[in-house]
Chains A and B, each alone.
Chain A
Amino acid sequence: MADLFDRFAPLMAQRDALLGDGGINPFQVKMDELLSPTEAMIEGRRTILAGTNNYLGLTFSPEALKAAHDALEACGTGTTGSRVANGTYGSHKDLENALAEFFGKDHAMVFSTGFLANLGILSTLMGPEDYILMDADCHASIYDGVRGSAAQIIRFRHNDAADLEKRLARLEGKPGNKLIVIEGIYSMLGDKAPIAEIVAVKKKFSNVYLLSDEAHSLGVLGRYGRGLPEEAGVEDDVDFIVGTFSKSVGTVGGFCVSNHPQFDVLRLVCRAYVFTASLPPSVVVSATANLKLIKQGGALRARLMRNAEQLHQGLSGLGLKLGSDVSSVIAVVAPDPQTAIAFWRGLIEAGVYVNLALPPATPFGYSLLRASLCAAHTEAQIDQIIDIFADVALRLGMIERPASRRIAAG
């Protein structure tokens, strides 16, 4: 009889062939010591972190550290229970109030991760008569969430409001509500949703709601960091915002905010909320503390964008193919997965960590070296990242020798 794990054999064989027999496994990186939000010791080397989604560099903010230390001493290491049982402390409600106030919405619900927030909300919100229209490039947590929904799931072409309109028009006259699901910033390439166009399409039809996942745009976009809806001036037209604390907020956890008057009923029916342990209080208070810094973080956002411009200009100046415009995520497109892995290893051996992203988890089947920027990166660090990219790309024959640029010693 076949072994339980035999069906994974083709995948393992493919992975082994890709990784070859030498070098660091890109999916098993171990950070032995964190030196700052932008540096760690990896394989005994001081390494610049340029793939952490720590956009504002708040993982060591003194405000969050102090609050977390105090909460650890006062409340212990964990709640050991669900939000609906013994797992709601004062700090959980304080964070929900802070989130509602931050977004200017009536209701906020905190989940234990961003993944669980999408899973819980998307599997619960829509019933059997309803339709979910999702952008094809949505995150795995959205795919898994809608898979658990009783609604009919329809995809529209990535960032294509006209394609969405065509699909909504086909559903006209059918009973049931419709929910459009998008992301503020898409994680792999850092591209933004055309949210104003999507809102305009939404308004042409009745019984249509909009949910935006602001995981990568919270703290990054908008004058006060409320994400793409704030930047685009359409906050009142977004019915549900889902997000995470594990990127700009610098800790872990997820949330959903909304003005819907019956929103709180979700606390009874979202299984991913009811049947999992709540966040430890030290995590909760660090999220609350950093949310305050995000609201006042105009200078951090400006710094992040300057860093993004510097990296984008540097990498495109080298002649590398970029999958991104200037954004908090800048992805270099490698010609194939083997080259991407060799590139990634060249970077890590020279002291730069970025994310390696391979198909099918990537748009267009791209093989990507995905860099994410941090407001705490210095100009010198970005220069060093560019130099090391140049050195590795040159060795791999991906670019010609740049005329003006100093090449880091290989």
Chain B
Amino acid sequence: MSAPAEIVARLIPILGPFNKTNAPLSAATRFTEDLNFDSLIVMEFVAAVEDAFDISVPLNILPDVATVGELASAIDKILGEGKS
């Protein structure tokens, strides 16, 4: 599944303050390996994403999300469910 570019573009500024490793940010950026996210940062980042998109991001989906692109796809799916 290709990541929705528009959502990736919205995610990158949200990620900015959490990017302590100064890794280049793109759809391919990996949260654990590239950004060194630990559970505390994940909590804060997910909350920021929820607020920015006005959606609920359940913890259940997080194990399947390794990259910014995968998160964008998950958000796309959640936004789609909201419309139905």
Contacts and interface: CB of A to CB of B under 8 A. Distances in A.
Interface of A: 131, 136, 146, 152-157, 163, 166-167, 170-171, 359-360, 364-365
A155 B40 contact: no
A155 B43 contact: yes
Interface string B44-55: 001100110011
A365 B42 CA distance: 13
B21 interface: no
B56 A152 contact: yes
B58 A152 contact: yes
Majority SS of interface residues in chain A?
mixed
Leading 6 A-B pairs by shortest Cβ distance: A152-B58, A153-B59, A136-B43, A170-B56, A154-B56, A360-B39
B38 interface: yes
Majority SS of interface residues in chain B?
helix
A360 B40 contact: yes
20 contacts: A131-B56, A131-B58, A146-B59, A152-B56, A152-B58, A152-B60, A153-B59, A154-B56, A154-B57, A154-B59, A155-B43, A155-B46, A155-B47, A156-B47, A163-B47, A166-B51, A170-B50, A359-B38, A359-B40, A360-B38
B36 to A, nearest CB: 13
A155 B51 CA distance: 12
Contacts of A154: 56-59
A133 to B, nearest CB: 9
B50 A167 contact: yes
B40 A167 contact: no
Contacts of B39: 360
A157 B47 CA distance: 8
Interface residues of B, number: 15
Given A153-B58, A153-B59, A365 B47 contact: no
A148 to B, nearest CB: 11
A315 B22 CA distance: 39
B52 to A, nearest CB: 12
Interface of B: 38-40, 43, 46-47, 50-51, 54-60
Contacts of A167: 50, 56
B63 to A, nearest CB: 10
Contacts of B59: 146, 153-155
Most chain A CB within 10 A, of B46, B57, B59, is at: B59
Contacts of B57: 154
B40 A170 contact: no
Contacts of A157: 47
A151 to B, nearest CB: 8
B74 to A, nearest CB: 13
Nearest to B54: A170
B60 A153 contact: yes
A154 B49 CA distance: 13
Contacts of B46: 155
Contacts of A364: 40
Contacts of A156: 47
Contacts of A153: 58-60
Contacts of B50: 167, 170
A53 B81 CA distance: 46
Contacts of A166: 51
B40 A365 contact: yes
A146 B58 CA distance: 11
A360 B59 CA distance: 18
B11 to A, nearest CB: 18
A359 B59 CA distance: 20
Nearest to A149: B60
Nearest to B62: A153
Contacts of B55: 170
Given A131-B58, A360-B40, 10 more contacts: A136-B43, A152-B60, A153-B58, A153-B60, A155-B43, A163-B47, A170-B54, A170-B55, A359-B40, A360-B39
A160 to B, nearest CB: 10
